[in-house]
Structure 1
């Protein structure tokens, strides 16, 4: 058995294929001793990779893109989320929501775990013709803190993940106005990336990991979340499992786990948004950041 450790920016149900592969023995079948960690400070994942504590990072593609040509070179080889599992919620139900409804409003967008919640939302708003100069943002704080502040009366809308959004609706505390996975189309939201040295290993560590995840994807396409009740309860004991089962089936149907390969269409759109927002000088070519494995 060869050890493979993933260091991730979070531990959350949108990463479910990774846990399913472990649960069903797909890593073991590839001769891998799999483990994972999710440090409180997400930037620790880079240190984990550089020191060899971890072999692979699970996080945003914007990190390899921003570092490209700026001191660190990482290669992405798989996308765990084909779409961005985020939503914009409001306190009251909104019929026929339009992004322009946010003009003159205050939007809360978490950023303690990364920049994508704000950047992708702002990119979709610009594409819809919103005058962003009229929108006020509360950013760079944790999702839990901004959710608490939103429920306490701050702002007009909150960017959150689809799991939290579903539980807010379940408790009648907030309501989904628009979903990024549907409104935003394809987008490699969470990807696996590593160094050239790990990719070049003779034991094909990454390739075997990829094959295990492919089996997990295939299983999730063919099975309903109810079959994972025990796994979901064990991994997220603080969440109502019955509600979570429904959320997972919704994520399955949304296409979030449709394709493990990083698609060029979603990649190009995300690079465009990142460059438009100033995180990149220009979009990075697909072949410069992505390695296709099988």
Structure 2
């Protein structure tokens, strides 16, 4: 009897040893991500979630839209989020305030500005000189869209203060409505609003601020230094999943991509989604890997400096960690 009991006990022990690892493998680490807005500009992020790339790495993503750079950064700094998806300029602003736990950029999602110049009237042969003497409805002062917009205007020898009437006192959420209501000859808009306006005859896309302003770390994943040290493996997994999504987006057409991420944009028809995704792909807005290089970082600061919004120049190695991205890219 004792012999049988011992044999049964051994079998039971072996089963437990098998079951426990399986259960452990099934457990996923939750990563709280705060995105600055919900946008087709962030297509690779939604692909990574929907295609199961994060899940394959053993991660569960708790994604929240925090509507605005200030709110997104507040969520990160107050431990309301582990990782923030927001413009790199916010990490510079935080650094200038003397943070004891610096916010570090570790993976890049978009590498150009995402806005377009939309005219009220159809223009067959557009040139930037046409903005002189016009009323231009720009983005909020101090934000990256506005800084990139002014940088492009100056690049084309247009002084935003003297060569046109620049309107910047309208909230981001109301800019499109103001233009549709008759304010301005030109407006700087994100997608899909720009394409929707074009389809409805409310405006016409005549230029891209993204192609004009060059490569820069427009939207980046960042985390506090303490999190990167404490949860190093989690950050490595997160970055690997992002790299897989970036490659998948490069290898598939807009129709396939739109189908995958449609659950995140139920109020946008698939045809418009395809137009927007294709436009962003063609102008290289989606980063092809998560590496934020020094040239892009310096271009960002040049644009901020030109706009008078750069507190002080910060070296690439101080606020950027490319270790995770470089390993993922391999």
TM-score range, shorter chain: over 0.9
Structure 1 residues 283 and 103, CA, compared in 2 at 3 Å: closer, same or farther? Answer: farther
State the distance in 1 between where 2:258 and 2:214 align. Answer: 29
Structure 2 residue aligned with 1:16 = 43
Calculate the TM-score normalised by the size of structure 1.
0.93
After TM superposition, where is structure 1 displaced by more than 4 Å over at least 4 residues in a row? none
Question: How far did 1:220 drift?
Answer: 0.7
SS at match of 2:192: helix
- Counterpart pick for 2:175 among 133, 146, 162: 146
Structure 1 residues 94 and 78, CA, compared in 2 at 3 Å: closer, same or farther? Answer: same
Structure 2 residue aligned with 1:155 = 184
Structure 1 residues 196 and 165, CA, compared in 2 at 3 Å: closer, same or farther? Answer: same
Show the 5 A alignment for 1:21-40.
Answer: 21-40=48-67
State the distance in 1 between where 2:89 and 2:126 align. Answer: 28
Taking only aligned residues, the RMSD between alpha carbons, in angstroms, comes to 1.9
Show the 5 A alignment for 1:1-294.
Answer: 1-40=28-67, 42-72=69-99, 73-111=102-140, 115-132=143-160, 133-257=162-286, 258-292=288-322, 293=324, 294=327
Structure 1 residues 140 and 199, CA, compared in 2 at 3 Å: closer, same or farther? Answer: farther
Q: Higher helix fraction: Structure 1 or Structure 2?
A: 2
Structure 1 residue aligned with 2:12 = none
State the distance in 2 between where 1:110 and 1:60 align. Answer: 15
State the distance in 2 between where 1:254 and 1:268 align. Answer: 21
Structure 2: gaps of 5 or more residues: 1-27
Structure 1 residues 51 and 67, CA, compared in 2 at 3 Å: closer, same or farther? Answer: closer
Residue 272 of structure 1 contacts residue 283 of structure 1 at CA under 8 Å; is this kept in 2?
no
SS at match of 2:207: strand
SS at match of 2:151: helix
SS at match of 1:204: helix
Residue 3 of structure 1 contacts residue 33 of structure 1 at CA under 8 Å; is this kept in 2?
yes
Aligned length: 293
Deviation string 1:29-67 (CA, Å, 9 cap, x unpaired) is: 111111111124542222221232211111111111122
Question: How far did 1:154 drift?
Answer: 0.8
Question: How far did 1:10 drift?
Answer: 0.1
State the distance in 2 between where 1:51 and 1:152 align. Answer: 39
Structure 1 residues 137 and 286, CA, compared in 2 at 3 Å: closer, same or farther? Answer: same
